[in-house]
Amino acid sequence: MNVDAPAAPAAAADEHANSASVKTPTRIGSLTRRMIGVAAFWIAALLLIGGFGADRVLTRSIVDSFDNQLTFVLNSMIASSEIGPDGEVRFSRAPADQRFVEPYSGLYFQISGAGADTFPSRSLWDRRLRVVDAHADLRPHLYDSGEFGNDEPLRIAERDATLPGSKIRWRYQVAQSRQTINEQIRKLRLTLFWSFLALGVGLLVLAALQTIYGLWPLRRVRREVSSIRSGKMTRLGLDFPSEIRPLTEEINQLLAHSEEQAEEARRHAGNLAHALKTPLTVITNAATARAPDLSDTVCREALVMRRQVDHHLARARAIGRRTSAQARARVWDSLQAVQRALDRLYENVTVDIAGSQDAMVRVERQDLDEMLGNLVENAAKYGGGRVFVTVEPKGEMVDVLVEDDGKGIPDSEREALFARGARLDTGKPGTGLGLAIVRDVARIYGGGIQLEESEDLGGLLARLTLPSG
């Protein structure tokens, strides 16, 4: 019995499904460029963040050093100040920095008080520092000022103090041009820019060299694959880095698998040719001899050839599908389909199924129907009218037991049934290819079949073992 669909439509459906699953390849660019691009992005980002942080720290350090000098001068002026006979502010010692007496030197001081004269440094000449009375600076207050215009930005330190012998709160101010620290900051930033630029270029070159050197084994794999395609080599070398070696081993296994499939296809074609040769010879001899039973001979041998073709097509389909990791079939569903078909063909045969209803096997449904159909049909054909099928999951495998109540088969004759064309009962129609098909297809999927004696029904027990899904 063949509960499978016709071979030609099945093959056409498989071909259509395969062609439908093929997608247009999408170019994703060079792996080298992608790796270098990612490295360049992170190098640039980290250098920008690091450069900004270094600029802030070093700039703050320059400004703090500048402010400390102004604060020191300011405190020194307050410490050396005293009130003169006329109420004026004078210094017990002259300022040490000569720039205070040079007009527009860039370093200035000014002492002012409410209702009192203002005492500026000679370096201010005809200019005066702006005094804001809105706040009292009991501690040094430092700020930037542009009161002398953009040509001379100032950094000012100021503090209020009350001198002994005076009730006036005096505002001490020391100002210095920011051009000095601005120039220092400009040079610092220029140095940082070129330093980080050189560092970035160096890191990019290093990343490029690392990427090219690291991916070099992949280029070697490509060259060796090209050599295999041209026939110069048969396998990839084994002296690859540990990260690439699993890939090369898988490719070598794929090549071995392809060679095995090619050899299997050649052997399969030879077997088919050999199987068809004998029926064709019989038909040719009968036609040449103008035998009176030529039509019966042609029909008989054509049936033999058809069964041979069905057998080899079933094996070819199973070989083509066995690499599909998604192949799954429920045993119970296939058994129910076989049971319905046999109920129509054999009215006097009762087929009972029992066991696990959820058992799955890693077999295509069409091939599972082919195997179960042959086994159950043989049991119905050669049994006494009762067929019992049991599904038993056993770890990583699933056993399907097909039992009948026939006469059974001795141990010495069971193995002979798997030979093509072997039949113990020639009085019933058939070609003797059913068990051969079942064994070949089961082995292709990593399973097997054994013939035993049924303890419950007394006939033959066929144990089909398939990998669990």
Compute how many other C-beta atoms are within 10 angstroms of the C-beta atom of residue 464: 24
Q: Are 212 and 32 in contact (CB under 8 A)?
A: yes
What pLDDT is attached to residue 10?
A: 42
Burial class (CB in 10 A: 0-12, 13-18, 19+), 215: middle
Residues 350, 453: Cα–Cα separation, whole Å? 19
Q: For the segment 262-318, what is each residue's pLDDT rounded down to a tens digit?
A: 777 777 677 677 667 778 887 888 888 888 888 888 888 887 787 777 766 766 666
Q: Which residue has 């499939």 as its token pair? A: 261
Q: For the segment 356-390, what is each residue's pLDDT rounded down to a tens digit?
A: 999 999 988 888 888 898 899 888 888 888 999 99
- Would residue 123 count as lying in a domain? no
- Would residue 365 count as lying in a domain? yes
Residues 282, 284: Cα–Cα separation, whole Å? 5
Rg of the chain in Å (alpha carbons)? 50
HEC-encoded secondary structure of the chain: CCCCCCHHHHHHHHHHHHHHHCCCCCCCCCHHHHHHHHHHHHHHHHHHHHHHHHHHHHHHHHHHHHHHHHHHHHHHHHHCEEECCCCCEEECCCCCCHHHHCCCCCEEEEEEECCCCCEECHHHCCCCCCCCCCCCCCCCEEEEECCCCCCCCEEEEEEEEECCCCCCEEEEEEEEECHHHHHHHHHHHHHHHHHHHHHHHHHHHHHHHHHHHHCHHHHHHHHHHHHHHHCCCCCCCCCCCCCCHHHHHHHHHHHHHHHHHHHHHHHHHHHHHHHHHHHHHHHHHHHHCCCCCHHHHHHHHHHHHHHHHHHHHHHHHHHHHCCCCCCCEEHHHHHHHHHHHHHHHCCCCEEEEEECCCCEECCCHHHHHHHHHHHHHHHHHHCCCEEEEEEEEECCEEEEEEEECCCCCCHHHHHHHHCCCCCCCCCCCCCCCHHHHHHHHHHHCCCEEEEEECCCCCCEEEEEEEEEC
Q: Are 406 and 349 in contact (CB under 8 A)?
A: no
What pLDDT is attached to residue 206?
A: 93
> Hey, what are 78's tokens?
């307050």
CATH of the domain at 348: 3.30.565.10
- Would residue 406 count as lying in a domain? yes
Report the DSSP beta bridge partners of residue 90: 82
What pLDDT is attached to residue 414?
A: 81
What pLDDT is attached to residue 309?
A: 77
- Would residue 128 count as lying in a domain? no
Q: Could you tell me whether strands 386-394 and 350-355 are parallel, antiparallel, or unpaired per DSSP bridges?
A: parallel
For residue 235, pLDDT over 90 is answered with no
Q: For the segment 14-47, what is each residue's pLDDT rounded down to a tens digit?
A: 444 444 444 555 556 688 888 888 999 999 999 9
Q: Which residue has 């210095």 as its token pair? A: 176
- Would residue 368 count as lying in a domain? yes
Q: Which of 354, 365, 434, 459 is nearest to 399 (CA)?
A: 354
- Would residue 319 count as lying in a domain? no
For residue 4, pLDDT over 50 is answered with no
- Would residue 97 count as lying in a domain? no
Q: Which residue has 């019992």 as its token pair? A: 388
Q: For the segment 62-100, what is each residue's pLDDT rounded down to a tens digit?
A: 999 999 999 999 999 999 988 888 788 888 888 888 899
User: Cα angle vertex 106, ends 122, 189, to 5°?
Assistant: 170
Percent of the chain scoring above 90 in pLDDT: 35
- Would residue 395 count as lying in a domain? yes
Q: For the segment 390-438, what is each residue's pLDDT rounded down to a tens digit?
A: 999 998 999 999 999 888 888 888 887 776 544 444 444 443 456 887 8
CA dihedral 289, 291, 296, 300 (to 10 degrees): -30
Print the domain residue range for 411: 325-467
Q: Which of 424, 438, 419 is nearest to 382 (CA)?
A: 424
Residues 331, 398: Cα–Cα separation, whole Å? 9
Count of the separate structural domains present in the chain:
1
Q: Strands of 386-394's sheet, edge to edge?
A: 350-355, 386-394, 397-404, 460-467, 448-453
Q: Are 244 and 221 in contact (CB under 8 A)?
A: yes
What pLDDT is attached to residue 23?
A: 53
User: Cα angle vertex 52, ends 55, 210, to 5°?
Assistant: 115
| Average pLDDT value for residue range 100-119 | 90
| Residues 306-309: contacts with CB under 8 Å, at least 24 apart | 307/431, 307/433, 308/272, 308/275, 308/276, 308/279, 308/420, 308/431, 308/433, 309/7, 309/272, 309/276
Residues 326, 34: Cα–Cα separation, whole Å? 33
